[in-house]
Amino acid sequence: MGDSDGSSDTGEVPSWEEVARDHGRFLYSVAYRLTGKHEEAQDLVQDVLLRVRRGLPGYRPGNLRGWLSRITTNAFLDDVRRKQRRPTTALPDDPDWVLPPSLAADEESARQSLPDDLQAALAQLPAEFRIVVVLADLVGSSYDEIADRVGIPVGTVRSRLHRGRARLREVLS
């Protein structure tokens, strides 16, 4: 899932629907690693595609996946900040309102979230650490690219990445 894998930039600006078709799996995968939940990943992908749709007129063909991962991390960070500003309380379960989940969907999710322990540990990382780890180890971004996308100095990238990995090590040990 490297930064340049599959970006297949042809010099033409794709439509948002082409982005969804050709890079939807990549977007979803990054979104899932960032949020740790399929529902939230789906919301994040929707937010990202809305931003892509708005941003495409100003997009200059180049590293499309780099651009997409920047949008994804920005959307994720905005969401984290919004939740911090306006914390919400989950509603109590109301059995009258909830259908039994689809078994097929659950099984699919379980398969896709393997290895569960590492994904669970990743989800426990504070968001600012998780973003750096996801960009470095799952998207394959360089420290300079991460610094640019997240808006932090390279030294902070270095520090957060190592501490994030160290925290994962502790949780898994």
Cα angle value 46/55/74 (rounded, 5°)? 60
Interface map 21-60 toward another protein (x if CB under 8 A):
---xxx-xx--xx----xx-xxx-xxx-xx--x-------
Using CB under 8 A as the binding criterion, the count of chain residues that bind another protein stands at 63
Residue 1's alpha-carbon distances to 33, 107, 141, in angstroms, are 12, 23, 10
Q: Which residues within the stretch 55-74 sit at the binding site for another protein (CB under 8 A)? A: none
38 in Cβ contact with 32 (< 8 Å): yes
> What is the C-alpha to C-alpha distance for residues 130 and 32, in angstroms, rounded to an integer?
12
Among 63, 109, 127, 152, binds another protein (CB under 8 A): 109
What CA–CA distance (Å, rounded) separates 74 from 167? 23
Instruction: Please enumerate in sequence order all residues whose Cβ is within 8 A of that of 52, keeping only pairs 6 or more positions apart, or say none.
Output: 16, 19, 68, 71
Question: Least distance (Å) from another protein to the CB of residue 132?
Answer: 10
Minimum CB separation of residue 137 from another protein in Å reads 4
- CA neighbor of 112 nearest in space, from 37, 164, 165, 62: 37
CB of 4 to another protein, least distance (A): 15
* Residues in contact with another protein by the rule CB under 8 A: 1, 16-17, 20, 24-26, 28-29, 32-33, 38-39, 41-43, 45-47, 49-50, 53, 82-83, 85-86, 88-91, 94, 96-99, 101, 104-105, 108-109, 112-115, 118-119, 122, 133, 136-138, 142-143, 158-159, 161-163, 165-166, 168-169, 172
